[in-house]
Every structure is written in structure tokens, then in C-alpha cells.
A and B are shown apart, each in its own frame.
Chain A
Amino acid sequence: MLSDVLNPVITRPRRLARRRGRPLSRYIQSCLTAVVAFGVAAVLLGQIIPSPTIPSNVVFIGPKHDFYQAHKDDYNALFFGSSRVYNHIVPDVFDTASEQVGLPVNSYNFGIPAMRALDSTVLVEDVLKSPPKNLKWVFFETTLDKGYEPIQNARTHRSMYWHTWENMSFAARYIVKSESSAVEKAMLLVSHLLPTLYRQVNVGRLFSQVLPSEFSAREKATAEIFTRNEGYFPLVDESDPDRQHFLAHQDDYIAAVDKLTAVAETDLPQTQLAENKRMLLAKAARIIRAAGAEPIFIDPPSLSLERDFQIAKQQGDIETLLSYRAPNRFPQLYDSTKRFDPEHLTESASEDFSRLLAKDFVQAVQSGL
């Protein structure tokens, strides 16, 4: 058949009579040989072709990391987190505001959209393996989610790069120690199998080493903006679908704020944080302290009703927390005119938030954190 298709010009008489098949054991033997050969080759190739620790061709991560590497010793404060850092912390404004109240700070925003608890921790660990010489403070924001890895991310650099055996083991412990049901835990664990497998069999490894990054014009423009702003990316695109949806559904937003206000006005439950969440926070704090910096956790002005960071602070799991998840205390951050979409602030509100954060931060530093 191979020659029939690859070389159809060559026609051969086909033997149609029933052939005596090979015994099944021979097929199984051949299959096992192929699988072993594949495994050996994958391991060898994994040794030969180095894997990037931080993918250079993922638009939010690569250019951000490259800029940071080139200037890292200039910074004494780093911000890590999701879009609620990426779109909310304006380093320039934060630094100026801090300096005005007597604390010289030079900060860099390492926020990356759609970061989750596990990959945020891995990113902090990778970046701080060789920390800036003058690093003093690391701000850390994350949602302590269940540890799910979206299936659509499985074959992406972003997901594959951090699914090492070591990180997978940490992810497994995070999931197993969670309060989820056994079935849910199994599902969560399975969600990490594919990126782990892809990483171990070197999917796209040579491709990403050989071919240069091909960012689209839009991606390039995005990278230019956040590079110019030391990692911060302002939300200004009025045609953004999330923005349009937000403008069209203001009632939903106001209802969500009312709900959060009601929760914020109640006392914190006197329970311990789930073991896996405590483990993750402890790890993040340990990594930051090992880099010679002080960890400062941020609870951003989001609409989530989870109060994990506040409980962690109350129970002594974390030492310094700057929390803004309370519309009754920070109405200026929850006003709908200050919002780009339900979860993100506008450009001017982000600047206000950066000033507010700087003031609280300096206060905390001056009072010995």
C-alpha cells in the first residue's frame, strides 16, 4: 500500500488470497518494542534539546521576561499575579507615590493575564531563581483556585513549560490535599496529564528552539505597550467585547457589588484555610524570602466572594496583606465608572489604585510590615 500511494505509478499485482496472519503475540511484541524505542528516543531528545523555562514565544511572558532580564538589577520591588496586577498596577505611579511619602521604590509589573494559583507559584519560583541584586519586596496576587488546567491550554507553550515532574508533583499534592470530592480531584489531576505528557515527549521542542517568535501585529503592539510601561498594560480599547458586555449589563455589576458588600460586612469565619491553599501560600512566601525579599500579598478589588487571603492573614499563614476586596471600605474602586469591565479597573482608576496601594505599602513598611 505504501508504494501504491507514495509511488502510485508503480502498480503491483495484489495478492488477494487470505494470508496466514502473524500470531497476536508478535504484534504485541512489535508494539512494545516501538513504545520502548519511542520512550528512549524521547528521553534522549529531551536531554539534547533544552527546554525553555519561560517560553519566549508567548506574548505576555516572553517579551516581559526578556525586558526584566535586561533591567532586573534596577528593580527593588516586583509584582506577580494575574490580569488584576497586569492591568492594575502602574509601576511609574506606584514608585512616584511611594517616593513622595519617603520610600524610594523602583518596581516592575510581572503580572500575566489568566494566571492561576499553580502556574503563578511556578513563575515566581522560576523568575526568582536569580533574583535582582537589590530586591526588597515581592507583591503576590493570585486566586487560590482548585488547580484545574484548561484542556484547551494543554498543547501550548504556556502550559507545557511548567509541567515538569517536580511541578506536577506539587500540583498533584495541591489537588489531593484540597477539599474537593474524590471524583473532582481525579478530574483535576487528569487535566494536568496531557500537558505533562506533551512536555515529556518534547512536543514542539525543536520547533520552538529553531523558529523565531512569530507574533502578530496586534501582539507586537501589546508587547510594546507593556514593555514601555514596565509591565503594565492599560485597558483602553472601548470595542473590547468584555467592555461592551459590561456597559450593556450594568445592573448585573451593581448586584454583584451589593453581594460582595454584604459578604465584606460580615465577620471572617474562624476556620482554617484548606491545607492545600496554606501549602501554596507557604511555598510562595518561602521562595520570595529565599530571594532575599519580603512577601506582600495583595487582595485586589475584584468581585470574587472568596476570602482566602483574609482568612490566611487572620490565621497567621501570611504576614502582610494589602486587601481591597471590600466595596464598603473602598467605594472609589467599585464605582461602575471606574471599571473597564466587572473584574478590571479603567486606566485612571488603575493609577488611583496604584497610589492607594503605594500609600498602604509605605505605611506597612514604616510600621515594620
Chain B
Amino acid sequence: MIFTEFRFFLFFALVFGVYWTLRTNSWRKAWILLCSYAFYGAWDWRFLSLIIGSTLVDYVVGLNLVKEEATTKSRRSWLLLSLFVNLGALAFFKYANFFAGSAVGLFGWLGLPVNSVTLNVVLPVGISFYTFQTLSYSLDIYAGRLQPRKSLLDLATFVAFFPQLVAGPIVRASDFLPQLESTRLFGNIKLRACLTLFMVGFFKKACVSDNLAPVVDRYFAEPSAFDAVSGWIGVLSYATQIYCDFSGYSDMAIACAGLLGYKLCVNFNFPYFAGSITDFWRRWHISLSTWLKDYLYIPLGGNRGGKWFTYRNLMLTMVLGGLWHGAAWTFVVWGALHGGALIINREWSKFAQRVPALARPSAWLSIMSVVLTFYCVCVAWVFFRADSFGSALAVLRSFVLLRSPGTQQLSLSLFGVFFVLACIHWLTSKEVWTHAVERMPAQLYAVGYGFAVAVLLTLVPVGYTPFIYFQF
């Protein structure tokens, strides 16, 4: 069940209707939990045991971490148990075949042939997301930043909350659990903002991302068959597709949570308008980048050591971030490219501070830095999307060297589509229409909403395309 399916609308209408009819907070949470498990079970009910198991382990770990008689050693053991269970499940389901395959490849390269063992493992949807959430719960308690919850219902609802369960945003326990403690008031929900946000997310996912998906699939299936201009179209299509797909999902998740009275963190802030790679990571998948910063980069030492120590930490964080996205070496390269770009950007920033013209860049220079950042991000996306290094290099030959042996062409009209989308995006960043929507009279808004939905439906491609980030 995905947010753009008709059955999700029916599901959510039922959830919403019953939720606001229930009087007590406990019943509402129980209802949300039941619906969340039903939502997750719609993919594969067997994986419910994973999410329930993970919740129970962290519940027990949380309570034991703060026991008065707990010693440092026992606390560490409890934390290790949480890490072992959560990361163990992630490692088994997501990385078992990757590491086994890589080891076989390495032994073969060393002249020591080993029989390949491939496990027929199905990746549970959203495992990377809820694992990080449960980990943050245990880690925050261990670090003394959070008190454990005595209510198992609260913790289970936090872990399984369906709007963000399968593709984020990655919610921190310290942000969400306090919201579960008080009864949400219907009068406090921002109905118009949530409905509009859902429509914006729907537009991004169903009308933009899903329409670009066949173009991207066609190009990346055989990049060498297309000319260099098509290479640009293919890469720009993917950059647009992945942004609209993921941020569209986040918008819809935030909107659904908002309609139930809960606030989720912002996940995207116009990342393609970033003026540097560092800025990009402050705007792209914010919940992941802050998670990696707080639970990986800083514990590794952050920038508290020397220059090389900082660079090592940056590179490690980004490489592991890449691996989090998928069990393939192309994701590792994607992470390493971003790590390298962050290091270069760090050095450049130090240099720029010493040059007055660069310390206060002109408008022209600012635009150039946005374009250059976007180009670098697109180069890295090639590795994120390509099925193999050979395929990635074929794409880069077109995108960077402007050379390709292919003769097939993708439609040039897509440049027009990119231009229109970029204009809409820029106008949104300048709050041109968001204020107007907020100030509109209720009846006019209702009429406009009805018309807008009718128009959007005509642009929806026939057939469903799952969210890209579900696979992570």
C-alpha cells in the first residue's frame, strides 16, 4: 500500500475518522498502532515479527539502562544487545548477500576460488528507517539524553507510526515520544496546510516522479545506446525523479501525521538550491544527515581532532551513509564521492575566507556555486542509480565528457519540463503561492482544492511505481 494508491485513501479515511472519534489518548495510540501494523503487514505480514521484536528488545534495554543498580559494564552490555539485535537484523536482511558476494569476489581475485553462497533473503520494507529509530532510542537513553518509556504502547507506536514507517523521515524518540504523552486536539491541527502539503507530495510523486520513471529506466538500461544530449536528459531526469519521489513521500508522510495531530521533522529544504555540498547535506534527507552526524560522525570524534582526523570521520560517515542506502559498491562510491566533495568544500571554505571577493560572493558567483553543486550532485547520482560501474562510466562519458557512441535520442521536450519544474520550485522557495494558500477564504480554498485534485489526476501515469526509498 503506497500513499498514491486509492486503497490508501480509503485506509487513511478510516484511520482518521476513527482516530478523532476516540476519546482517550490511550485508545487513540492503540488504534494508530493497530493501523500501523496493518499498514506494514499489507506488504508482508511475516516481517511484523521483526518490528515487534525490535520494539520489545529496545523496550527492555531502555528500562535496564536506567536501573539504579545498573553498573557501567551492565549498561554497556544492554546497549550492545540493542546494537546487536537491530544492526544484526539489518546486516542479515540487507547485507548478507552483499558481503558474501564481495568476499567470494575477493578470494577469487586472490586466486582462492570459493563457492558462492547466496541466501534467498527478501528485504523487509523500511528496515533501515525503523532500525535507526529504535537505535536512536537506546543510544539516547544510554547517553542520558532521554528517559526510557514505561509505556510499551508509546514505544511501539513511535517505532511503527505508519506515515513515516517505511521511508522516513527518521524520527527521533526525543522528538516524537513527548507528543504521544498528551491528547492531540483536533482544533490544533492545521488542516489546510496538511491537505495542501499532501497534494504537493502527491504531485511530486505521482505526476513528476512516476512520469519520469520510464524515461530514466529506458536510459539507464542501456546508456551507451543514447547520444550525449540524451545522457544529460537521463541524468537530469533521475535527479528530478529521486528528489520528487523522496521529498514527495516525506511531504505526504508529514501531512498524514499532521492530520493525526503529530509533527514530524522537515526532511528536505530545496536541496538543489544549495550553494555547496555542505549546504546540500543540510537540505537533503535532513533526518538522515543529522542522524549520521549525531550518532556516527560526532561519536567518531567529529572535528575535535586534527585536519586528517576530521577528514577520516567525514569520509567514514559518508561511506557508511552510502552503504545504508543499499548493499552495492556503487552506493559506497556514491558516499565516497560526497565524502570527498565535503572535504574539498571544507578546504575551499577556509581558502575563501581569506579572499575578500569569495568571502562575500556576488550574486553571479552565488548562482555559479549553486549550478556547480547541482552538477556535482548529479555526477554522484549516476553511481546511485546505475546497476554497475560499467553502466555508470558509460553515463559519465556522456554527462561529463559529452561523448557517446549511441545514436538513440530521448525527447528534447524534457528540457522544457525541467525548466517549468525548476520555475515552480523556485517560486515555492520564494513563498509566492504558499502565503496565498494560507490566506485564502475557506470556501474558495475548497473549490480550488477540488479543481486541483481533478487536474492532478489527469497527469497521473497509469499503473503504480513504488517509492524509490522503500528499497532502502
Contact = CB atoms under 8 A, between A and B. Distances in A.
A315 interface: no
A268 to B, nearest CB: 43
Contacts of B464: 155
Interface in A21-42: 21, 26-27, 29-31, 33-42
B431 interface: yes
A207 B193 contact: no
A214 interface: yes
Residue picked from A1, A40, A197, A202, most chain B C-beta under 10 Å:
A1
Main secondary structure of the interface of A (DSSP, over half): helix
A183 interface: no
A6 B196 CA distance: 10
B450 A5 contact: no
B458 A38 contact: no
Contacts of B190: 1-2
Interface stretch (B65-73, B79-87, B305-313, B435-443): B435-443
A22 to B, nearest CB: 8
B231 interface: no
B464 to A, nearest CB: 7
Contact of B197 (A5, A31, A45, A202): A5
Contacts of A203: 457-458, 460, 462
Interface stretch (B22-30, B144-152, B181-189): B181-189
B125 interface: no
A201 B454 contact: yes
A55 to B, nearest CB: 9
Contacts of A20: 187
A19 B261 CA distance: 13
A367 interface: no
Interface string B437-469: 110001101111111011101111111100000
A207 B455 contact: no
Contacts of A214: 214-215, 218
A5 B447 contact: no
B434 A207 contact: no
A155 B463 CA distance: 6
A156 B462 contact: yes
A368 interface: no
A256 interface: no
Contacts of B428: 6-7
A277 interface: no
Interface centre among A33, A39, A197 (most CB of B within 10 A): A33
A29 B266 CA distance: 31
Contacts of B453: 34, 38, 41
A64 to B, nearest CB: 19
A211 B417 CA distance: 12
Contacts of A6: 197, 200, 428, 431, 434
A45 B459 CA distance: 12
Interface string B186-229: 11101111101100100000000001001100100000000000
A269 interface: no
B185 A18 contact: yes
Contacts of B191: 27
A2 B196 contact: yes
A202 B457 contact: yes
A173 interface: no
Contacts of B214: 214
Q: Please provide the 9 A-B residue pairs with the shortest distance between their CB atoms, ordered closest to farther.
A: A37-B450, A21-B187, A41-B454, A38-B450, A1-B193, A206-B458, A33-B446, A2-B193, A204-B462
Interface of B: 6, 185-188, 190-194, 196-197, 200, 211, 214-215, 218, 251, 254, 258, 263, 266, 269, 411, 428-429, 431, 434-435, 437-438, 442-443, 445-451, 453-455, 457-464
Given A1-B194, A2-B192, 5 more contacts: A2-B196, A157-B462, A201-B457, A204-B462, A212-B411
30 contacts: A1-B263, A2-B192, A2-B434, A2-B437, A3-B193, A3-B438, A4-B193, A5-B251, A5-B254, A7-B428, A8-B266, A21-B186, A30-B443, A36-B450, A38-B450, A38-B454, A40-B450, A41-B450, A41-B455, A45-B454, A155-B6, A155-B462, A155-B464, A203-B458, A203-B460, A203-B462, A204-B458, A205-B458, A211-B211, A211-B461
